[in-house]
Amino acid sequence: MSRHLSAPPHPLARPAAWLMALLLAAGLPAAPAAAQSAPGEPVEAPSSIGPLSVETVATGLRSPWGLAFLPDGRMLVTERPGQLRIVSRSGTVSAPVAGVPPVLARGQGGLLDVALAPDFADSRLIFLTYAEPREGAAGTSVARGRLVEQNGDARLDNVEVIFRQSPAASGGNHFGSRLVFARDGTLFVTLGDRASLREQAQNLTNHIGKVVRIAPDGSVPADNPFRDRNGARPEIWSIGHRNVQGAALDPATGLLWTIEHGARGGDELNRPEAGKNYGWPVITYGRDYSGAKIGEGTAKPGMEQPVKYWDPSFAPSGLAFYTGTLMPQWKGDLFTGGLAGARLVRLKLDPARTGVAEEEILLADLGERIRDVRQGPDGALWLLTDDPSNGRLLRLAPAE
């Protein structure tokens, strides 16, 4: 160890003054305090219910994307390059779970969300969404498999693809994709418009820019809204979505909520109902990044308004309703992460649970892109930060 102590400082250990000035001028934190914290050393963050403790539970994750709690309190975490890992409560990250289908890890594509079957305790079935490599292109697919753990190794058995977004498209953008089980046991899958195909979000003959609803074996539920419409894809639940990267079921009503990336100034919170049209790209509050107008305006008969939209956008990802008792003031509230607008957002719904009564921005000082948010069995909020080599698993709870 003396070798290290006597070694001269690494030339990159201290950023040059000009670099510091540049970072400060750009409004970027040169060294965010939280990034320095090792696992187990919480930092505090202010909130409307008093200081919160932000504990780094695991580090070194590669673009972590989806988080699901196992019944024993451990977590399944997807990494976008294609690995599924099991993380212990104390932050030990497992070797990759074997048997995960190959993914196209490009742009926004790769291994995306993970969800446990409602009957996981018996079936051991887990569900994954991912950008599936297809001939000359890729498309969002859903696979399921049985999680088997033996002698410290984990693998997926009997892996089968139960849904394929059609058509596939080239390019690496707007795959969606979140998985949410409804109370009736059906599975919602949120899908993106693949960017280059955005006009197809209005077309019932494909899965582009849709939310779909399938049975856990991939079959079509008997009461899907377009099941009996000629030419329509029977899996479709709602249409006119751009890129939905957050979805959750309201525990008070059992209804689906989604949050989607808009173009500039057009992020949207929606409550997608069967057969309804959420407008993209005909109506939107966003503009193209070039500044160009999109579609026809902001409202049109037959198209739904968002529950809320954000201008400027913050690039929402992950969505969770809070039902715990650790932070009782926040019971029933909705949480979402922000990527470009590095933050955690809390939304209190109105009493009818159809609109947003209050918005609070949390963790703004952390400077982290937040990819997913979930409630843990301990009543804390658990977050994944988006970084290609040092994504972190954070636990958020009231400070002692």
Catalytically active residues are 174
Query: Considering the complex, what minimum distance in angstroms separates the CB of residue 4 from Ca ion?
Result: 56
Longest dimension (CA), the chain: 76
Q: Is 163 in contact with 235 (CB distance < 8 Å)?
A: yes
**Residue number, 269 or 384, with CB nearest to Ca ion:** 269
Place of tokens 């953008």: 173
Give the neighbor-by-neighbor strand order of the sheet with 244-249.
244-249, 256-260, 267-270, 308-310
| Tokens, residue 43 | 């930092």
Q: Is 268 in contact with 260 (CB distance < 8 Å)?
A: yes
Q: Report which secondary-structure segment, H or E, holds 334.
A: strand 334-338
**Residue number, 133 or 279, with CB nearest to Ca ion:** 279
Q: Is 282 in contact with 299 (CB distance < 8 Å)?
A: no
Contacts of 367 (CB under 8 A, 6+ apart): 28, 29, 32, 34, 35, 342
**Residue number, 193 or 368, with CB nearest to Ca ion:** 193
**Residue number, 246 or 279, with CB nearest to Ca ion:** 279
**Residue number, 45 or 204, with CB nearest to Ca ion:** 204
Which amino acid, residue 277?
N
Q: Rule CB under 5 A: say whether 281 interacts with Ca ion.
A: no
Contacts of 61 (CB under 8 A, 6+ apart): 77, 79, 85, 93, 384, 387, 390, 391, 392, 393
Query: Considering the complex, what minimum distance in angstroms separates the CB of residue 248 from Ca ion?
Result: 18
For 62-208, strand residue ranges (E) read 64-69, 75-79, 83-87, 111-116, 125-134, 137-150, 153-164, 179-181, 187-190
Q: What percent of the residues of the chain are helix, what percent strand, and what percent coil, each to the nearest 5?
A: 10, 40, 50
CB atoms within 10 A of CB 379: 16
Give the neighbor-by-neighbor strand order of the sheet with 210-214.
179-181, 187-190, 210-214, 236-239
Binding mask 252-271 for Ca ion (x = CB under 5 A): ----------------x---
CA distance 140 to 129: 7
**Residue number, 175 or 278, with CB nearest to Ca ion:** 278
Query: Considering the complex, what minimum distance in angstroms separates the CB of residue 268 from Ca ion?
Result: 5
CA distance 127 to 147: 10
Q: What one-character DSSP code corresponds to residue 81?
A: T
Query: Considering the complex, what minimum distance in angstroms separates the CB of residue 69 from Ca ion?
Result: 31
Q: Rule CB under 5 A: say whether 278 interacts with Ca ion.
A: yes
Query: Considering the complex, what minimum distance in angstroms separates the CB of residue 170 from Ca ion?
Result: 25
∠ CA(178), CA(82), CA(219), 5° rounding? 45
Q: Checking DSSP bridges between strand 391-398 and strand 52-61, what pairing results, if any?
A: antiparallel
**Residue number, 208 or 380, with CB nearest to Ca ion:** 208
- Among 30-38, 90-98, 178-186, 277-285, the segment contacting Ca ion (CB under 5 A): 277-285
Q: Rule CB under 5 A: say whether 209 interacts with Ca ion.
A: no
Query: Considering the complex, what minimum distance in angstroms separates the CB of residue 305 from Ca ion?
Result: 7
Query: Considering the complex, what minimum distance in angstroms separates the CB of residue 259 from Ca ion?
Result: 11
**Residue number, 30 or 299, with CB nearest to Ca ion:** 299
Residue nearest to Ca ion (CB): 279
With CB under 5 A as the contact rule, the residue among 139, 216, 279, 391 that binds Ca ion is 279
- Where does residue 137 rank: exposed (0-12), middle (13-18), buried (19+ CB within 10 A)? middle
- Among 13-21, 64-72, 109-117, 273-281, the segment contacting Ca ion (CB under 5 A): 273-281
Query: Considering the complex, what minimum distance in angstroms separates the CB of residue 262 from Ca ion?
Result: 8
Q: According to CB under 5 A, which residues from 30 to 59 bind Ca ion?
A: none
Binding residues for Ca ion, rule: CB under 5 A, are 268, 278-279
